[in-house]
Amino acid sequence: MGRIPDEIIQRIRDHTDVVDLVGRSVALKRAGRNHKGLCPFHDEKSASFNVNPDRQTFYCFGCHEGGDVFSFLMKTENLTFAEAARSLARDAGIEVPETGGGPGRGISEQLYSANTTLLERFRSELARSDCPGGPYLERRGLAPEDVERFQIGFAPDAWDTAVAALSAAQIPAEIGEKAGLLQRRERGGHYDRLRGRVIFPIQDVRGRVIGFGGRAIGADQEPKYLNTPETPIFRKREALYGFPQALDPIRRSGRAVVVEGYFDQIALCRAGIGEALATCGTALTTDHARNLRRRTQRAVLLFDGDAAGERAMLRALEALLPSGLRVHAALLPSGDDPDSLLEREGPDALRTLVDAAPAALDVAIDRAVATGHETPEAKADAVENVAPLLALVPSAIERSEYCARLALAVGTEARHVEAAVARAARGEDPREAVPIGPRRTGPEERHLHQLARSLVEHPSLAIRIPSDELPGLVSGGPVAELVRCLVEAAAEDRGVAISELEDRLSEEARNLLRALAIVDSPLDEAAAAQTVEDTIRWFRDQELKRREQEITRRLRDPSADEDEKRRLLDERQQLLQRKRQLASSAAVPDATAVPPS
């Protein structure tokens, strides 16, 4: 690459505002003559990174990185000086003369150019009157101005659209391959990676196209979403869809709203929530967290309200909390995504849901105690579920407050919760800090253990359990194995002598059988019978919940036809009826049951 003349370098420096440049990556606040923020070059909780607009320089008192606009870009984007200078010149509208002395532009610049060229082609394809992408986007509620605003395009269902576009722009196919736009044929040549898909351009904070996301429009197309692969300029662990448009709304609102998909992000923007961002085919990572924390202290997660959405929220907390972000969580109504909620109830409903989002740790505490916390074991389960998350909170004051909230929610002392959190922070088992009796792991395991004990002491009760239903209700493990063995023996109308049962069990299940057989405090038959009925009812209820979640997931699948949706709705109605029947049967006390002593 040829040498850039000194006068051009000075013009670039004069036309580039260091506060504006750094502000794309760091949330800056004025502090006297300087602007301060969290350093992008090392992890820190208190701002020690300073930007001086008079001298057009930056310096971090923590890690001692410093420099000017060129060095900032070189450090943050791993560029050479010439690449950084040309990039800033392009932003400032300054032409850099091409001179001899080198092999040409750097690889990053060539990849950006390939992506920009292809975005133009994708957008022109969508503008065609016969493009199938247009009707699809209309069905998704996007008006032409939305398509223009978000620069959405379309990749035709052909093998050489991208190949031809790059060739016409004199961009080598090898560059298209490095950009993830083309794939190499075994017999030579290249073909398009993205075909027959609506295309979303993924940009960095400076508005450069770093990659693409493609949404299938055909019912039989797999996968539903396909992104370009990782490249030197597209790192999915830190890329977020919605930049650079979200930068100003994030500064104004003091928050970032994070969703899982491109259409979700667009729906929020259409509802007036411009600070929305979406991950690009990955779960949230610590790199995403650092990316967000440099720009704001508050993040709102918006996930589906089903069990999968809750699990995704908890995983996201593991990545976000250590960065010092204050995370809130809004869970959508079951069966809804931001798109459907926006279309059905309007932008006010979506904004209200996001604005009212509670602290995510409060949501985690509520979920942990929702299954019950009356017994010592249940209290330990709740603390075990939340303590590892509280251990990730950097602020001692915030962590202590959440420990107190968790203690109040489960009905134990705050000092026990704080001890559990401390153990979790050291990688130890937090359950041992909560003073309870013998430990049983998880609600399913606990119910199975109670059922196994009842059947070992009163084998005749096993005939109350339908043997053909049991495999669908319980999962694996030694306790489930023992229960199945007892039920099968009862169904065969055979005796259940301990010695004979042992021959049919694995070593773990045999040890459990022996332990239960010598329990010192026997159960009377009435209490055991009640335990059997309550436990089977609980497992049936859990199975109905799992099935209902699966139906909800399939109903949301846009590829499902109307007949399948009607069948699923009928099945859901039957499930609701069965749940009501289970609830009513639980309300009728067993005449043979006796209260626990």
Structure tokens at 118: 């292809």
Secondary structure, 3-state, 229-271: CCCCCCCCCCCEECECCCHHHHHHHCCEEEECCHHHHHHHHHC
- The pLDDT of residue 592 is 39
DSSP structure string for 55-102: TTEEEETTT--EE-HHHHHHHHHT--HHHHHHHHHHHHTPPPPP-SSS
Same domain, 206 and 322: no
- The pLDDT of residue 201 is 98
Same domain, 218 and 247: no
**Strand 57-60 relative to strand 49-52, pairing:** antiparallel
DSSP bridge pairs for 153: 199
Say if CB 259 and CB 135 are below 8 A apart: no
| Confidence class for position 590, pLDDT limits 50, 70, 90 | very low
Same domain, 74 and 123: no
Q: Considering only the C-alpha atoms of the chain, give the largest distance between any 2 of them, rounded to a whole number of Å.
A: 97
What pLDDT digit, counting tens, does each position of 373-386 carry? 777 888 888 899 99
Domain boundary among 304, 334, 358: 358
- Is 102 domain-assigned? no
Residues 6+ apart with CB under 8 A from 588: none
Of 511 and 4, more confident? 4
Domain count along the chain: 5
Residue reference for tokens 């395009």: 153
Domain boundary among 181, 205, 227: 227
Of 493 and 438, more confident? 493
Same domain, 116 and 64: no
Would the pLDDT of 145 be above 90? yes
| Confidence class for position 433, pLDDT limits 50, 70, 90 | low
Indicate the range of 217-221, 277-281, 533-537, 587-591 predicted with least confidence: 587-591
Residue in 234, 242, 244, 272 with CA at minimum distance from that of residue 258 = 242
Same domain, 152 and 86: no
Same domain, 83 and 137: no
Domain range for 402 is 363-433
Helices 443-457 and 507-517 sit at what angle, rounded to 10 degrees? 60
- The pLDDT of residue 574 is 82
DSSP bridge pairs for 183: 191
Same domain, 487 and 580: yes
- The pLDDT of residue 494 is 52
As a whole number, mean pLDDT of residues 303-320 equals 85
Would the pLDDT of 552 be above 90? no
- Is 235 domain-assigned? no
Question: Which CATH number fits the domain that encloses residue 23?
Answer: 3.90.580.10
Question: Which CATH number fits the domain that encloses residue 272?
Answer: 3.40.1360.10
- The pLDDT of residue 532 is 83
Report which listed range, 83-92, 546-555, 559-568, is most confident: 83-92
As a whole number, mean pLDDT of residues 341-370 equals 92
Same domain, 417 and 512: no
- Is 349 domain-assigned? yes
Same domain, 551 and 464: yes
Question: Which CATH number fits the domain that encloses residue 571?
Answer: 1.10.860.10
What are residue 199's phi and psi, to 5 degrees?
Answer: -115, 130
- The pLDDT of residue 597 is 34
Would the pLDDT of 438 be above 50? no
Same domain, 133 and 88: no
